[in-house]
Amino acid sequence: MKKNRALIFKCGFCGHEEPKWLGRCPECGEWNSLVETAVSAAVLQRTEGDPKNRPRSLPLSSVDPQEGSRISSGLPELDRVLGGGIMKRSAVLLGGEPGIGKSTLLLQAAAAADTRGRVLYISGEESAGQLRMRADRLGLGPQSGRIEVCCTGALADITPILEAVKPVLVMADSAQTLHTDEAGPAPGTVNQMKFCSYELISWVKEHDAALFLAAHVTKDGLISGPKTLEHMVDTVLYFEQSENRGAQGDCRFLRAVKNRFGSVDEIGIFMMGEKGLSMASDPSLLFLVRREGTLPPGVATAAVLEGSRTLLVEIQVLTVPVKGSMSRVFSGSIDLPRVSRVAASLEKHLSLRLSDQDIYVNVAGGIRITEVGVELALAAALYSARTGLPLPGGTAIAGELSLTGELLPIRRLAGRIKTARGLGFNRFVGPSPASEGEGPGGLENAADIKSAVKILFAGEQKPQTPRTKAGSL
């Protein structure tokens, strides 16, 4: 008789496999954790199946290009982060803290995705009735007609349902609720999650479908859980909430940290409202506080790139005399080393005393800014906060600072100026364009931080106090 099961010894905690029993897992060091485990029939078939069905090589030119085609999720911001839509035969891990909106996003995509076939929503967390209530609340109505729901986390129940429904899109909510006896006796372990996720991923790859796998992530628990699934999937998305409420409401960001089929630079911006997640009508404006006339001291508007779009964001800085023995920087939105470096640059090149100050930095709407082009606006906000001199309104700023105080050319300067113009900014202060002809009208360019500050604060009085001894503007 053909053997369709094999035995291995698997660690119930980390999932490490050994051909022989050992008293202690060599991977995680846990004692007595190796248990005799059957390798599933599906896995065996894949590895030992009929030689006729074994994978063979084939000329690349003979592969049907449709195999690599994408379908729209129906949610433009999700498509953007995925790199242009859902790739067939792909597996996407959607991580995020509980309550961030993973289930909402998956249900909305299940209803809106541009698929011809059926969508299977597997929920180990909610009952069918709860899913129905959520769908009604989201106003999915008739769109949800092709969604099949299956409320279990037991792999043994899920597999026959997959075979019966033959979905083209599978939503598994969540990885933590998946379980099977085949993956060892301890339920809820990383091993259970990995084993079951692998089975679902294999199923969609073999059946020309796509999988979204939701996974809870806690602030400190990134490593133990879903992180271990990252290498198994094609794309890893994390859903995050901004620290503050955006100017237009409750704003959430979707970021890719791994994407086999697209860039990881794009972010998706969603607003959570009464009827679930919606797209922000104009994300470029989301992080701006509309102000008339001169800005309050410590505020500057930066034109930064987030993936392929330009966002205008308000940088807010507060400086107060140090309370401890050393000055400290508090910033959740811009990296601390960047803030410290820009502050050091101002101290050195403009003789602006900051080392006796605690510096607080915030970006309106709570979006994290990692793009270098934010540095000049950050410098302007710091200068304004420390001197009390306000920046004029209607001015957008972009530029990278070198340690020597020069302004370096930045990517897509012309695009930033165009977006800022379109949003009603009449001045743009930045570096010289990298190439001739890149700078459309309206750019006031500066060579270094000193001349940029001069241009920006031209109409204001000279600061009185916070100078270091040497140098003047």
Of the candidates 130, 214, 129, 115, the one whose C-alpha atom is nearest the C-alpha of residue 166 is 115
Report the nearest approach of ligand TYD to the CB of residue 104 (Å).
3
Q: Return the number of the residue (236 or 397) whose C-beta is nearest Mg ion.
A: 236
174-195: burial string, b at 16+ Cβ within 10 Å, e else:
bbbbbbbebbbeeeebbbbbbb
With binding defined as CB under 6 A, does residue 134 bind ligand TYD? yes
Q: Residue 126: which residues within 8 A CB-CB, separation 6 or more?
A: 103, 134, 151, 173
With binding defined as CB under 5 A, does residue 103 bind Mg ion? yes
Report the nearest approach of Mg ion to the CB of residue 110 (Å).
13
Residue 328: name its binding partner from Mg ion, ligand TYD, none (Cβ under 5 to 8 Å by kind): none
Q: Residue 288: which residues within 8 A CB-CB, separation 6 or more?
A: 247, 301, 312, 313, 314, 364, 423
Residue 260: name its binding partner from Mg ion, ligand TYD, none (Cβ under 5 to 8 Å by kind): none
| CA atoms lying within 13 Å on the CB side of residue 13 | 12
With binding defined as CB under 6 A, does residue 194 bind ligand TYD? no
Which element (helix H / strand E) includes 329?
Answer: strand 329-331
- What separation in angstroms does the CA of 7 have from each of 11, 33, 154, 294, 390? 13, 16, 21, 73, 72
User: What is the three-class DSSP state of 250?
Assistant: strand
Total of residues contacting ligand TYD (CB under 6 A): 14
Report the nearest approach of ligand TYD to the CB of residue 250 (Å).
7
Cα radius of gyration (the chain): 27
- Most distant CA pair in the chain: distance in Å? 92
With binding defined as CB under 6 A, does residue 166 bind ligand TYD? no
With binding defined as CB under 6 A, does residue 54 bind ligand TYD? no
Q: Hey, which residues between 343 and 382 contact ligand TYD (CB under 6 A)?
A: none
Q: Say if residues 214 and 172 touch (Cβ distance below 8 Å).
A: yes
Of the candidates 199, 174, 200, 178, the one whose C-alpha atom is nearest the C-alpha of residue 187 is 178
Q: Residue 388: which residues within 8 A CB-CB, separation 6 or more?
A: 297, 463
Q: Return the number of the residue (40 or 103) whose C-beta is nearest Mg ion.
A: 103
With binding defined as CB under 6 A, does residue 430 bind ligand TYD? no
Report the nearest approach of Mg ion to the CB of residue 412 (Å).
37
56-95 footprint of ligand TYD as x/- string (CB under 6 A): ----------------------------------------
Task: Specify the residue for token string 């005399």.
Answer: 321
Q: Return the number of the residue (132 or 467) whose C-beta is nearest ligand TYD.
A: 132
Out of 245, 275, 291, 454, the only residue in the binding site for ligand TYD (CB under 6 A) is 275
Stretch of residues binding Mg ion (CB under 5 A), selected from 99-107, 277-285, 343-351, 393-401: 99-107
Q: Return the number of the residue (96 or 226) whose C-beta is nearest ligand TYD.
A: 96
With binding defined as CB under 6 A, does residue 138 bind ligand TYD? yes
Residue 175: name its binding partner from ligand TYD, Mg ion, none (Cβ under 5 to 8 Å by kind): none
Q: Return the number of the residue (241 or 432) whose C-beta is nearest Mg ion.
A: 241
Residue 350: name its binding partner from Mg ion, ligand TYD, none (Cβ under 5 to 8 Å by kind): none
Helices 449-456 & 375-387 angle (0-180, nearest 10): 60
CB atoms within 10 A of CB 30: 14
Report the nearest approach of Mg ion to the CB of residue 196 (Å).
17
E-assigned strands of 394-440? 395-397, 400-401, 407-408, 427-430
Out of 5, 24, 54, 137, the only residue in the binding site for ligand TYD (CB under 6 A) is 137
276-315 footprint of ligand TYD as x/- string (CB under 6 A): x---------------------------------------
Of the candidates 429, 430, 381, 425, the one whose C-alpha atom is nearest the C-alpha of residue 408 is 430
Residue 101: name its binding partner from Mg ion, ligand TYD, none (Cβ under 5 to 8 Å by kind): ligand TYD
Out of 272, 280, 299, 342, the only residue in the binding site for ligand TYD (CB under 6 A) is 272
Out of 103, 197, 331, 333, the only residue in the binding site for ligand TYD (CB under 6 A) is 103
Spatial separation of the C-alpha atoms in residues 147 and 274, rounded to whole Å: 22
Binding interface with Mg ion (CB under 5 A): 103
Binding interface with ligand TYD (CB under 6 A): 96, 98-104, 134, 137-138, 272, 275-276
